[in-house]
């Protein structure tokens, strides 16, 4: 049997955003979510699948309820919102629940 390593989507706090996202070399996929948000719950397994299949991309989640100031700074008005960063720069934004194929296409930008 294969002993595949389970890649976990990391929870990151807003106060660690600069260190965990802006200073990272390469791609980072960020899922802004809330525990009570139904569309967020729908997209969570998609985000986890991306983390498994694209180990070259760091995948994190940020709880929107705890990160209002960061969301305002980034211009995020709704959840779920996915941000794709590359070398600390925002490459793309996706708002709302999305399918696996849509998110796979999104992270290829």
Residue 73 catalytic?
no
Q: Identify the residue whose tokens are 């296409």.
A: 105
Give the CA angle between residues 16, 36, 11 to the nearest 5°.
25
Q: Of the listed 29, 40, 76, 79, which one is catalytic?
A: 40
Query: For the chain, what are the domain ranges?
Result: 10-95
Give kind and range of the element (H or E) at residue 33.
strand 27-33
Confidence of residue 2 (pLDDT cuts 50, 70, 90): very low
Q: Of the listed 37, 46, 50, 71, which one is catalytic?
A: 37
Q: Is the pLDDT of residue 78 over 90?
A: yes
Architecture of the domain defined by 10-95:
3-Layer(aba) Sandwich (3.40)
pTM exceeding 0.85:
yes
Confidence of residue 1 (pLDDT cuts 50, 70, 90): very low
Residue 25 catalytic?
no
Rounded to whole angstroms, the Cα distance separating 88 from 84 reads 10
Nearest in space to 71 (alpha carbons), one of 37, 95, 36, 107: 95
What's the mean pLDDT in 54-66? 93
For the segment 5-48, what is each residue's pLDDT rounded down to a tens digit? 566 788 888 888 888 888 888 999 999 999 999 999 999 999 99
């Amino acid at each position: 049997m294969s002993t595949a390593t389970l890649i976990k989507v990391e929870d990151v706090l807003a106060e660690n955003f600069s260190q965990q996202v802006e200073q990272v070399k390469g791609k980072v996929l960020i899922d802004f979510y809330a525990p009570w948000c139904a569309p967020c719950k729908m997209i969570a397994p998609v985000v986890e699948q991306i983390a498994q299949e694209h180990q070259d991309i760091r995948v994190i989640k940020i709880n929107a309820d705890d990160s209002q100031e960061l969301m305002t700074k980034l211009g995020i008005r709704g959840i779920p919102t996915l941000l794709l960063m590359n070398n600390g720069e925002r490459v793309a934004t996706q708002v709302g629940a999305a399918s696996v194929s849509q998110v796979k296409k999104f992270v290829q930008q």
